[in-house]
Structure 1
Amino acid sequence: MIEGLLREYQKELLLKNNVKTTIERKLYQVKTFLKWCNSQNIELSGINSADIEIYLLQKSTKRGVQVQNREVIHHFFDICINRGILFENPAAEISIRTTTEERQFSVPSIEEISRITERIRMVDTLTALRDYAMFEMAFGSGARIGELVSLDIEDVNITEKTTMLKGKGRGEKKCRFVPLTDVSVKAIQEYITRRNALNGALFISVTGKRMTVSAIYQRFKLWSAWNPHLFRKAFCTCMARNGCSCEMLSRLLGHNQASTLNHYSHLTTADLHNNLHRSHPRSPSFSAMN
């Protein structure tokens, strides 16, 4: 029975356009929870909200981890309800509170990012040039680490100063075009010129293969105390503080589902460029206005 439920859960994840790594992670989380229930002699049909709360607290004290596991368990129990194994979802009653400490997060400032990129620029190697371009892409466009991995040279339009980012999920509907700062464009152009490359993966390892998520993460940690996602948060923070509208920022970050992008149809590429060049500290017009 459990195997059948897991297969059905996996099918639903595929239908929702989850990427392979997300599906594997969610299946692992469900299996870990079911294994814990078995160790506690708790039958699937007898699980209640108190059991789930105990599991979540034992799993981690971090709210983010608890929320993620709770959502996965909730989704799995929805399938159990559809199959008639449960009549109500015990995970629906669970509310995970945010502490004051967890609401606060630290992101690198523009001064810290400048110090990091200046230090990278002092090293005259192809690897350092690649890392510099990665840092500028993460901060200059708010790209996710997975989007940095999947970037191809053909995705970057040097002339129009735009790039296509392949977002979370599958298919063309998950792709978005975003403008690039002048610094990002110059860094990418210098890197691909030095590589003498015209197509293929933008960021490659010393062996010539496309860099992995783990490899990019390690390069960020080598040069700084910050992981790549915090550079995405720094992008968001800088843009918001300097007047970028919420709807424009949401589009730049790719936070919207394809079904909710219709009300953004009146926004043009020029609108995106104007907002970026007015709000991002890497843009020449930003310096002139401030």
Structure 2
Amino acid sequence: MHESPIIDLGGLHIDLSVVLMLVVTCTIVFVLALLATRNLSVDKPGKLQNFMEWAVEFVQGLISSSMDLKKGRPFLSLGMTLILFIFVANLLGLPFGVVTEYDNKESATVFGHQITSVAEAFDKAHETKPNEHVEVGVNWWKSPTADASVSMGLAGLIFVMVHFLGMTRNTKGYFKHYFQPFWFFFPINLIEQFSKLLTHGMRLFGNIFAGEVLIAQLIKLGTLNAFGAVASVVGLVVWQGFSIFVGAIQAFVFTILTFVYISQAIDTHEEH
């Protein structure tokens, strides 16, 4: 695996590849939505308009499966944003990678800041193998959801939104459910809420990160010999095809769980 391009800025560790890929993901989703809604037509809808209409109906189906559609309709734009953003983000690391190689830590700079992850890798390598020539690769192009901070950040946003909705739209029922079925279940119910946050984000991160690790190993296999090259090409074709399916499933799972959590927060116990 290659290093991430991390710099220190204002006391914060900033992963430039994550920033770059988030910008790329947002741009792709924005352009896709813009093109799909630019020339709307009732008689002769274009392919992108048909796709977007199908996506809207699909998200409405997700909402209606977890709550009353009248209550859930305001969250339609949230669902569309989530499923498109996560699906695109999951697939960005599949087509290709952008890697830069550094043979010394002095040259590993960007915007006048040293790439600290590369410097640390050189220092560690020189401690273990002081007489060997070392090169460190930096990966600039990857799926942003393959980074735990991005996946957990998305889950954290949903977590805050869900509990805010519960406290404002269903105040009595929201606080009451922490003490059900008995008051001494409060610690368990509290732990359950934080476990939802952890599993919501880590499920997405784990699946996408594992896929990119396997792709990296298949690429490395292709450098061994002729047989490894053939096996690498076949493995990459098969796995990338499967990764598209995995990326779609993970976008679906994250979105449907979001609606389930919203439904649990805004509906009273009696309504369930």
Query: What TM-score does the superposition give when structure 1 sets the normalisation length?
Result: 0.23
Q: Return the structure number with greater relative CO, CA threshold 8 A, min gap 6.
A: 2
Query: What TM-score does the superposition give when structure 2 sets the normalisation length?
Result: 0.24
